[in-house]
Amino acid sequence: MGGGSILLNLLGAIALLLWSTRLVKTGVTRAFGEELRGWLMQATENRLRAVGLGALVALAMQSSTAALLLLTSFAGRGLIALVPALAVALGADIGSTFVVQALSFDLKAFVPVLLVGGVGAFMLSSNATLRQVGRVVIGLALMILSLGMIVQASSSLRTDPTLVLVMSRLANEAVLAIIIGAGLTWLLHSSVAMVLLIVSLVGSGLIPLSLGVTFLLGANLGAGLIPLGLGWREPRAARRILVGNIVFRATGVLLCLLALPWVQEGVAALPLAPERAIAASHTIFNIGLAILFLPLLDLAARMLLRQLPDLPDEGQAAARPLHLDDSLLESPHLALGAASREVIRLAERVETMLRETILTFQDIDDTRRNAIHKLDDEVDSLQEAIKLYLTRLTRVVTDEADQKQAVNLILFTTNLEHVGDIICKNLLELAAKKQRFGLAFSDAGWAELTEFHARIVKQMKLAMTLFMTRDITMARDLVAEKDNIRALEKVATERHLARLREGTPASIETSSLHLDILRDLKRINAHITSVAHPILEARGEIRQSRLRQAKA
């Protein structure tokens, strides 16, 4: 096989590795994205717990970068403090190494089984989650297949004199090898893919184990550069996490570089095959970073806050409308489109408030509650701006349909503001009361509340989608679910009263909290459902009154 064919096969194998990694991450995110977000948001001042949660999320997403970007989206809204966020980042770095550990074994025999199972689940199942699980399984099979292709394509290069000369020179230029490793990781935009590539090259004998260790240090440095580049335009609260992560990694790489001969000897002394030794040392390096920096997180947080202080206008900028252009008021269709985009921004903030509120009942401090209050300030500001903009628009609009759409937008934004008010003035106060008095729900009661809350969050997501699509079937589903939730609230109340009759201590202590949470969530659902009413009324599919006609 000629040099060109070998290079083409090697590049094709690397491309397949990148694509399969992306396939797995996409499937996991679509199937379990909400659960992963929930895991991350449970990170508190307990650093070991935060490390564990970060590792779990990165392992599930097959990417520390994806976990870090998800984390920074919370930090940018003030929903997680800096110290636990840095602990989560250290855990995410560890979690992604377990993916490499698993795939460094010879798993080629499982490829046919994984492909058959994955394709079957994706093509034959009507369940959305199962289809995404099938996507994940297909991605894993292709990852294993691509690693075998890399080994096969590179095997004939082991005796190439030019390549042997280049590798021998790199073996003596550790700093250059680290820079190359970091650069390749950045180009691939996947530390997992890069480390697996190193594992394959070492396993095929194309590069010696010592050079593989040096490349591995570069890959770990590059893994910190990827999220830093992708998230650099985030607010400073988010950037601090990314800067801390790259500083941790760079410090670890520098320490290993200073002791490189001993590090290489230590890896070579591991009782493992060369490729397994690379995977194991990757995990050891990141666990070592966690052990080194966990006790120093408070100091690191103070330094990061000093170097990257919050900008005075960052919070104000988030509350400014982005799409309400006064020059569009003379073109009602364009103005209504701009207002609709701003309403989506408003709805996204309310959805975040609603999703995070349930977690405040488990928090031990007021960090999350304060962040949700800040989001409510943004909601109030955006709602006022949208309402004034649409009010001005209605003064110049002559078309009846445009008038009605403008009014419907005002009504929806008003309902979204009411949702925010219920969250801040009612639910957050209940969470503060629970924390202040050290109360705890019964296991059964808490399970009912979280299930009920999850149904309301699902309604919120459906309402946002309906707002954009105006789909009549979706509108019917939203209103039908409102009746189901009303019935579910009644059942949950009856179960709670039954626990009171049984004398369950936790239920007795939290009775008023429990019932008030159910009531407030049901009120929120009523406001959310309002987006469906104009759509159904336009089709004559909703009654003006639920009262029966009186008999004559």
pLDDT at residue 516 in the model = 93
C-alpha closest to that of 58 among 10, 103, 85, 90? 90
Q: Are 200 and 147 in contact (CB under 8 A)?
A: yes
Range with lowest mean pLDDT among 75-79, 195-199, 236-240: 75-79
pLDDT at residue 528 in the model = 92
What are the b/e assignments for 197-217, b being 16+ CB within 10 Å? bbbbbbbbbbbbbbbbbbbbb
| pLDDT above 60: residue 316 | no
CA 500 to chain centre: 39
pLDDT at residue 90 in the model = 92
pLDDT at residue 427 in the model = 93
What are the b/e assignments for 251-269, b being 16+ CB within 10 Å? ebbeebeeebeebbeebee
pLDDT tens track for 107-135:
788 888 989 998 998 888 777 778 888 88
pLDDT at residue 33 in the model = 66
List strand residue ranges (DSSP E) for 130-273, in order. Answer: none
Q: What gap in Å lies between CA 493 and CA 486, rounded to an integer?
A: 11
Sign of CA dihedral 488, 490, 492, 498: negative
- Higher confidence at residue 119 or residue 150? 119
Q: What gap in Å lies between CA 494 and CA 308, rounded to an integer?
A: 52
pLDDT at residue 542 in the model = 65
pLDDT tens track for 391-415:
888 887 777 888 888 888 889 999 9
pLDDT at residue 157 in the model = 59
CA 97 to chain centre: 19
Q: What is the mean pLDDT of residues 45-51?
A: 79
C-alpha closest to that of 190 among 142, 162, 147, 222? 222
SS (HEC) of 92-140: HHHHHHHHHHHHCCCCHHHHHHHHHHHHHHHHHCCCHHHHHHHHHHHHH
pLDDT at residue 428 in the model = 92
Sign of CA dihedral 149, 151, 156, 157: positive
Range with lowest mean pLDDT among 99-103, 243-247, 430-434: 99-103
C-alpha closest to that of 60 among 94, 95, 14? 95
| pLDDT above 90: residue 206 | no
Q: What is the identity of the amino acid at 47? A: R
Q: What gap in Å lies between CA 352 and CA 513, rounded to an integer?
A: 22
CA 106 to chain centre: 31
Range with lowest mean pLDDT among 215-219, 256-260, 360-364, 546-550: 546-550
Taking the CB of residue 230, how many other CB atoms lie within 10 A of it?
A: 15
Sign of CA dihedral 522, 526, 527, 531: positive
| pLDDT above 90: residue 291 | yes
Locate 17 and state its tokens.
């590795």
Q: Are 408 and 534 in contact (CB under 8 A)?
A: yes
| Mean pLDDT over the full length of the chain | 83
Calculate the alpha carbon distances from 549 to 69, 479, 537, 541, 542 in Å.
56, 22, 20, 18, 16
Q: What gap in Å lies between CA 527 and CA 352, rounded to an integer?
A: 16
Q: What gap in Å lies between CA 76 and CA 314, rounded to an integer?
A: 10
Range with lowest mean pLDDT among 33-37, 222-226, 277-281, 481-485: 33-37
pLDDT at residue 308 in the model = 82
pLDDT at residue 155 in the model = 62
C-alpha closest to that of 232 among 57, 92, 37, 69? 69
- Name the CA radius of gyration of the chain, rounded: 28
What are the b/e assignments for 500-536, b being 16+ CB within 10 Å? eeeebebbebbbebbebbbebbbebbebbbbbbbbbb
pLDDT at residue 449 in the model = 92
Confidence of residue 547 (pLDDT cuts 50, 70, 90): very low
Confidence of residue 551 (pLDDT cuts 50, 70, 90): low
Q: What gap in Å lies between CA 107 and CA 121, rounded to an integer?
A: 21
pLDDT at residue 371 in the model = 85
Q: What is the identity of the amino acid at 326? A: D
Q: What is the identity of the amino acid at 477? A: D
pLDDT at residue 423 in the model = 94
pLDDT tens track for 490-543:
998 999 899 888 888 888 888 889 999 999 999 999 999 988 888 888 777 766
Locate 160 and state its tokens.
């190439």
Confidence of residue 2 (pLDDT cuts 50, 70, 90): low
Q: What is the mean pLDDT of residues 471-483?
A: 87
Q: What is the identity of the amino acid at 290? A: A
Locate 327 and state its tokens.
């020059």
- Higher confidence at residue 459 or residue 70? 459
Q: State which of 106-120, 278-292, 336-350 shows the largest mean pLDDT.
A: 278-292
pLDDT at residue 3 in the model = 57
Confidence of residue 32 (pLDDT cuts 50, 70, 90): confident
Q: What is the mean pLDDT of residues 183-190?
A: 80
Locate 492 and state its tokens.
């949950």
